[in-house]
Structures are given as C-alpha cells and as structure tokens.
Amino acid sequence: MTDASHHVKGFLALELSAGGSPTVSALRPADAGALVERLGRDLAALVPGIRELDLSLAAAHFDPAEALRPGWPLHRRLEELYQRAPGRNSGPRMIAFGADESGDVPMPFQASEDLHGGALRVLPFLLSGSDAAALADVADQLEAVLLETGMAQADTALLAQQSFNARIEHARYLTLHDLAALTAMQYGHGGLEALWPVIETALLAPQQEAWLDHLPEPLLRYADGEVRIALFEPTAWRQRYAPEEQTDERLERAFGFFQARQQQFAAVLDAHGIPVTFAHCPATADPRGWLVD
C-alpha cells in the first residue's frame, strides 16, 4: 500500500509455534540492524526496484489488530522516526528502530500486553523514496507477489527466531492489504465475519458509514470514527430477536448469550483502536434511530 507521503507499508509476519511466544519485545541496535539488512536483501530479490528505496523497520513485534488500526498508527510512528533519521541525501538507507542498548523499549514500540499470546506477530516496515511513480510501481509488484511468494529466507527467519527468543514456524512478508485479508479470513473462521466489514470501513474508508443490522447479531453503526452498539432493554431485545419465544428460562439464556456477543464485538473493535459506545434503546423506539441521533 502506497500513500501520498511517498511510502509503501508492509510487514514481516512471524507465525509462531505453539508455546513459542517471543520473550524479547524489541531488538537492540545490533540485532535490529542485522535484521533490517536481511529484509532489504529478501525484498529486493522479489522486487529489484526496492534497492533504490529507503527501508525502515520497527524491530518490535505486534498483534495484527495493533497494526490494523485507523490511521495506521504503527506505520505513522515509524514514518516520524524515519523523517528524523540522518543521512537523507546519502543514497538508499536501511534503518531499524527498536530497543536501546540496555533493552528498554520506547513507548511507540511497546506492544499491548492485552494482545499477547496470538499465533501471529508482525513487524511493520516502510519503503520510502521521492519518486511517487516508482513507489507506486513497487507497491503494485508487492501486492502481486508477496502473498504467494513472500516467504522470508531461512537465515532471516532464523535470525528473527534467535533475536526475539521465539519458536517460529514461518516468516513471510505481507503488504498491508495482505494482512487485512488474512485477518478477515481468521475472523471468518472465528465466527466474526459479520463484524469485519465495519472494521474494514473504519480502516479504509473512515469517512463513510457502516451498519451491522443482521439478525441474530448485535445492531451497531460505524460513523465519524466510532461505533455505537445498541444496548437493548430485555423487552426491546425480545421484540427484535425473539418475538415468538415464550419460555422465560430460554429467553434469559438467549439474552445472556446476546450480551456476551455484544461484549465480544466491543473487545474486537477496541483491539483495532475503534472507539465504542453503547446506546440505550428502549422498547418503544426504533433502535436504528437511537444509533443515529
């Protein structure tokens, strides 16, 4: 994915073995420098035009949800550091940002403790240059080849494994769109496919509106950078979701499941950095109207 600031966004994705979570959060300068050099070599072998671009790497790993947030904050922080790096007019550079010599991790690259434990961790990188047309061509080529042929070389994967003290099954390169597609597929397998279009709108078309209005799912609306979820009173919930049910015990159980589903959706949206509010919806009102007002 290229943007108006002449950057292409991508990731080194680390697929972890069971029980192989990294114990190192971010790499110290020597290890970070070695890793970005391997990335530069691997990526240039796939798309030779990358040799003419600057490559900057966040040598810290994150959950995909942290990478897929409105405004792409991880890449934005990486861009800010890149803009301050020396050597701007000295030819293509490979720059890595991570922990300092003592191992302390700066705030921009401190991953959320709440999102540790997943099987996939990602390291953001940027390709940068002054020629917008050349960058667009590189971006198009990466979109065409990375998902199918973007495996990292064996020595790159081994270096990442040793440096982060992790057990890595696979290491591969992904564009931002590749990561979004993989996340959408994962959410589909996890029963969250109905929520993905809302997240996708927040990421790729944040000025637009998106609704989730499909029974039996919670009712919610994305607009103006946030999601509002309808918080139904029991009577209002029954009118919408279970008008034919007469058994109190079954109604109570179903309402509890529904509330848990709402909380699950709210947690996923929060992981993606999308603010959530709950809008109280009484039985006497059209719930869609309460989400718009």
Count of residues in the chain: 293
Is the preceding omega at residue 216 within 30 degrees of 0, hence cis?
yes
| Burial label, 137 (beta-carbon count in 10 A; 0-12, 13-18, 19+) | middle
pLDDT bucket at 1, cuts 50 / 70 / 90: low
Q: Quick one: which of 85, 87, 10, 82 has its CA closest to 42?
A: 10
Query: What pLDDT is stored for residue 288 in this prediction?
Result: 85
Judge whether residue 141 has pLDDT over 60.
yes
**Long-range own/partner contacts, residues 231-235 (CB < 8 A, 24 or more apart):** 231/262, 231/278, 231/279, 231/280, 231/281, 232/281, 232/287, 233/280, 233/281, 233/282, 233/283, 235/283
pLDDT bucket at 4, cuts 50 / 70 / 90: very low
Q: Quick one: which of 32, 69, 34, 15 has its CA closest to 202?
A: 69
Please give the Cα distance from 179 to 65 (Å, whole number). Answer: 10
Residue range 258-278: average pLDDT? 97
Query: What pLDDT is stored for residue 286 in this prediction?
Result: 82
Judge whether residue 2 has pLDDT over 70.
no
Dihedrals phi, psi of 134, to nearest 5 degrees: -65, -40
Please give the Cα distance from 227 to 291 (Å, whole number). Answer: 9
Query: What pLDDT is stored for residue 5 in this prediction?
Result: 52
| SS3 state at 6 | coil
Task: Give the C-alpha distances (Å, rounded to integers) separating 237 from 83, 143, 176, 250.
Answer: 52, 44, 38, 13
pLDDT bucket at 254, cuts 50 / 70 / 90: very high
Judge whether residue 29 has pLDDT over 90.
yes
Query: What pLDDT is stored for residue 291 in this prediction?
Result: 86
Q: What's the whole-number average pLDDT of the chain? A: 92
pLDDT bucket at 86, cuts 50 / 70 / 90: confident
Residue range 198-225: average pLDDT? 96
Domain range list for the chain: 7-181, 196-292
Which position has the higher pLDDT, 173 or 115? 173
Query: What pLDDT is stored for residue 257 in this prediction?
Result: 95
Query: What percent of the chain has pLDDT above 70?
Result: 98
| SS3 state at 96 | strand
Which position has the higher pLDDT, 214 or 287? 214
Q: Tell me the per-residue pLDDT of 40-72, one tens digit each, with 9 for 90 and over.
A: 999 999 999 999 999 999 999 999 999 999 999
Judge whether residue 38 has pLDDT over 90.
yes
Judge whether residue 126 has pLDDT over 90.
yes
Residue range 4-8: average pLDDT? 73
Judge whether residue 78 has pLDDT over 70.
yes
Residue range 182-197: average pLDDT? 96
Q: Which residues are paired to 228 by β-bridges?
A: 221, 277
Residue range 240-244: average pLDDT? 86
Please give the Cα distance from 36 to 177 (Å, whole number). Answer: 21
pLDDT bucket at 284, cuts 50 / 70 / 90: confident
DSSP result, 210-276: EEE--TTSPPEEEETTEEEEEEE-HHHHHHHH-TT---HHHHHHHHHHHHHHHHHHHHHHHHTT--E
